Amino acid sequence: MAYFDAASSEPLHPQAREALLAAIDVGWADPARLYGQARRAHLLLEQARTEVAEALGARADEVSFTASGTQAVHLGVLGTLHGRRRAGRHLVVSAVEHSSVLHAAQLHERDGGTVETVGVGLTGRVDPATFAAAVARPDTALACLQTANHEVGTLQPVAEAAAACREHGVPLLVDAAQTAGRVPVPAGWSVLTASAHKWGGPAGVGVLVVRKGTRFRSFLPEDERERRRVPGFENVPAIVAAAAALRATAAEAAEEQARLSALVDRIRRTVPGIVPDVEVIGDPVDRAPHIVTFSCLYVDGEALLTELDRAGFAVSSGSSCTASTLRPSHVLEAMGVLTHGNVRVSLPRGASAAEVDRFLGVLPELVRRIRQDAGVT
């Protein structure tokens, strides 16, 4: 089976597995206590925090660990809005943000706040000038922009957005889930979120980074753990494994991400030539190195995924977070591109050229057969 769904979850990195097994034996105690086992767990937790901070370009005391990337986003968005209530109650987001950002925005609206959604072009990229005009509104409390889109891979103009936010005194929350450990995060952000299982760490570990000087107040009942930002007992072994995976992935990134990017280029070039009526989606150049998405006219996406699964390929379709609903992906809708027969290929660490060639070899016949069964020739 060729696993091509790394944008949903990257397979556990070997160094993460090794670190997890070791930490289970020595990092199980409560890191907030004072006895020997607890001090050992505390040291492991703080070492992991330092390693994650270094990889993300932050200070260790700015980093908190959460139970997931989604929780990190919810805490980051709503906590920053809560901390800046005196500045205003207006939130700016892009139309292609992850559903966790959009769900937090909906909650903010229900609580009496306002939200402005900035649209994107055909490649899925926000126009920097339009984003800057949105954050210029005087009562803007927070702006949110992902580093790269989770469905089509397009990189967003984070540096330009950060400059506009800085000019208007607005903090920028950056969702770095698809790029953390793979490509450097642009500077200028105030709050950053990420998810360990996207870079080869275990599931159940998210990262919330709040820059010093950024007003933040958790909307949840206060807890003494994780800088009073995240309530609950830390999963020290999983956090240690997450840090090990991030360190290893970042060390390999220059070589491995370039290799994966070349394989993605091959898919982007080849698919339109071997499958009729197909649209390759997203920016061909300014993109995450591991993601490519295309849509096939007159093809049911679920049927295509099922056939690819039978042929030995694990891929996703449409939005990975709304795949069980009948509504088309909000990302593809916002871009104004074809939503039929959508396939997202996201290559994990170690994906081979032979696997990609085999995928390209079986794809045309599978599409032809589905179209034929639907009465389209």
User: Catalytic amino acids?
Assistant: 321
Three-state SS across the chain?
CEECECCCCCCCCHHHHHHHHHHHHHCCCCCCCCCHHHHHHHHHHHHHHHHHHHHHCCCHHHEEEECCHHHHHHHHHHHHHHHCCCCCCEEEEECCCCHHHHHHHHHHHHCCCEEEEECECCCCCECHHHHHHHHCCCCEEEEEEECECCCCCEECCHHHHHHHHHHCCCCEEEECCCCCCCCCCCCCCCEEEEEHHHCCCCCCCEEEEECCCCCCCCCCCCCCCHHHCCCCCCCHHHHHHHHHHHHHHHHHHHHHHHHHHHHHHHHHHHHHHHCCCEEEECCCCCECCCEEEEEECCCCHHHHHHHHHHCCEECECCCCCCCCCCCCCHHHHHHCCCCCCEEEEECCCCCCHHHHHHHHHHHHHHHHHHHHHCCCC
